[in-house]
Structure 1
């Protein structure tokens, strides 16, 4: 009985260690994003150089898309250091695009949106970690809904159609509620699937951190749009 309890405790500690590492990587990515955004926003000449170049935006979009594909397709084969470099490169590129937020929203609004996003994200992470229900079906539905939202946003942009930002953002928050809880649960499943393979767990820690980073960023943006729209 003592041996069983000791083994169970060790496994639990290992999972906690893996999850702690994953969330720390996620927070580090967020720190890079908002740090880069704040630095660029405080430098008027740098802001002008970046936003006056349409080619630079195209390069950044292609680079971000390439990082997503590389992490998704090669995460099981690449070295942990390569995965970390790609993750932080993506976070820095996102920081460049986020630098414009300081021109669109007040600093207090951005801070409030971040705090609300942290609370919302944290609640969903707890649900994803503690629930015994399989969230795979919810995650699949959420991904399908996200693709539908992306297609809808492109259609409205191409044809110049009006969009209700408030309703669109609320739907987005519901979609990412499902994705966040699912990604946290998926992190647990991946840990148990590769338990004992330290290199793979290191890679998966970065991959899960990247997924959770994307969840948080999108939640933050939707909340920011709601707050900004209400203050117009």
Structure 2
């Protein structure tokens, strides 16, 4: 009987250690994601500030009213360079981040993630030119509340969400193709449908990715490989960061007020 109590006590201690480790792991995921999000919006705001001026003497093109594009703004928003900037984050995800995960230590991968966040800021900086600052702040708040709720659902639910994964990934691919097509079609109805579907798909991915991050930790914590767990936390932060940014962008298309 004493031996059984000892085993049960040891199991309880081990379970408590896993709980503490899981909380620390999730804190690192959310902390890294939050810093990346902050970098993105600060970079976007700063770049937009360099792109627009109220002084026509130093302007290249007029936007509207007393707003003008600087030469820098014209280069990144109106020249062919805009296509490179638009698709650079996507190329980085497919080709750059995977290589960093294989070759760099966890600290290096984290720096790469922050660099990617700055690049994303450049890619979405036009929102500070197109939309009012007030509507950007409002949509950011709405997205933050929705994200927190969905992530909490993914963390606490007992239901296995893994079956959603392939369906949601297919939805993301469909959204990407439809978005590229609509760049040339310029259909407002299609754009509205893409935004609605985008919000729903990335809402689902937020819950799915949160559960996947939790389950991955629970599966791998027994290996004791802290370097791998550190990289897994950064990869989890990247996934949740992309869910947040995309949900924000689609909600902004639906709810944002344009300048």
Output the TM-score relative to the length of structure 2. Answer: 0.80
Q: 2:72 aligns with which of 31, 49, 71?
A: 49
Aligned residues: 231
Q: Is the 8 A contact 2:164 2:208 kept in 1?
A: yes
Deviations 1:70-89 (A, max 9, x none): 32465255311231122111
Gaps of 5+ in 2: 1-7, 54-68
| Secondary structure class of the residue paired with 1:136 | coil
Q: 1:159 to 1:103 in 2, by over 3 A?
A: closer
- The structural deviation recorded for 1:47 is 5.8
The range that moved more, 208-217 or 1-10, is 1-10
> Paired residue for 2:244?
216
Q: 1:200 aligns with which of 228, 232, 248?
A: 228
Gaps of 5+ in 1: none
- The structural deviation recorded for 1:2 is 2.9
Structure with more relative contact order (C-alpha pairs < 8 Å, separation 6 or more) = 1
Matches within 5 A, 1:112-191: 112-191=138-217
> Paired residue for 1:11?
18
Q: Is the 8 A contact 2:179 2:194 kept in 1?
A: no
The range that moved more, 42-51 or 111-120, is 42-51
In 2, Cα distance between equivalents of 1:173 and 1:57:
25
Matched, 1:94 2:120: yes
Deviations 1:20-71 (A, max 9, x none): 0010000000010011112222234796415425454454456423431232
- The structural deviation recorded for 1:223 is 1.2
- The structural deviation recorded for 1:90 is 1.2
In 2, Cα distance between equivalents of 1:118 and 1:152:
26
Mark the structure with the bigger radius of gyration. Answer: 2
> Paired residue for 1:228?
256
Which 4+ stretches in 1 moved above 4 angstroms?
A: 159-162
In 1, Cα distance between equivalents of 2:113 and 2:99:
14
Output the TM-score relative to the length of structure 1. Answer: 0.89
> Paired residue for 2:89?
64
Q: Is the 8 A contact 1:170 1:222 kept in 2?
A: yes
> Paired residue for 2:60?
none
Q: 1:7 to 1:18 in 2, by over 3 A?
A: same
